[in-house]
């Protein structure tokens, strides 16, 4: 079955960098758009970024443009989120999620999430 497992989280100082990984299994990774969604502690969900199935397209939320980069390795079945110049507001649980390939299909599978804490 479909599994998404995030890793790479932890405690990091403001201004530093962190790279999150999402390992996929149970489906043909290279056929799907993949997304990152985050959730600050005790708050709602925020869509962060998406990368197309072949890596040719990406879109990001305005709040992360210029600091967070999304990329993927289809041969390794992994999605990444490179987080630079981290701010306190970047603290939260980060989920990777699979995009349904049909229009308006939503996000049908999610990882368990990984906590990123930006703290001095």
Partner 1 sequence: AIQMTQSPSSLSASVGDSVTISCRASQDIRKDFGWYQQKPGKAPKLLIHAASTLESGVPSRFSGSGSGTDFTLTINNVQPEDVAVYYCLQDYYYPWTFGQGTKIEIK
- Cβ 16 to partner 1 shortest distance, Å: 25
Q: Is 46 in the site for partner 1 (CB under 8 A)?
A: yes
Binding status of residue 101 toward partner 1 by CB under 8 A = no
70 close to 35: Cβ distance less than 8 angstroms? no
x-marked contacts with partner 1 along 53-92 as a string, rule CB under 8 A: ------xxxx------------------------------
Strands 114-118 and 92-99 turn out to be: antiparallel
Query: How far does CA 89 lie from the centroid of its chain?
Result: 16
Contact status, residue 72 vs residue 57, Cβ threshold 8 Å: no
Any contact of residue 29 with partner 1 (CB under 8 A)? no
Choosing from 7, 14, 26, 45, the residue that interacts with partner 1 (CB under 8 A) is 45
CA Rg, the chain, in Å?
Answer: 14
């Amino acid at each position: 079955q479909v599994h998404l497992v995030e890793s790479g989280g932890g405690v990091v100082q403001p201004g530093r960098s962190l790279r999150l990984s999402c390992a996929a299994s149970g489906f043909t990774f290279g056929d799907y758009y993949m997304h990152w969604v985050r959730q600050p502690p005790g708050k709602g969900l925020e869509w962060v970024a998406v990368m197309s199935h072949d890596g040719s397209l990406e879109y990001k939320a305005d709040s992360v443009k210029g600091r967070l980069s999304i990329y993927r390795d289809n041969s390794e079945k992994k999605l990444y989120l490179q987080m630079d110049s981290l701010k306190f507001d970047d603290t939260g649980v980060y989920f990777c999620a699979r995009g349904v390939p049909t229009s308006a299909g939503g996000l049908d599978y999610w990882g368990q999430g990984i906590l990123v804490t930006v703290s001095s």
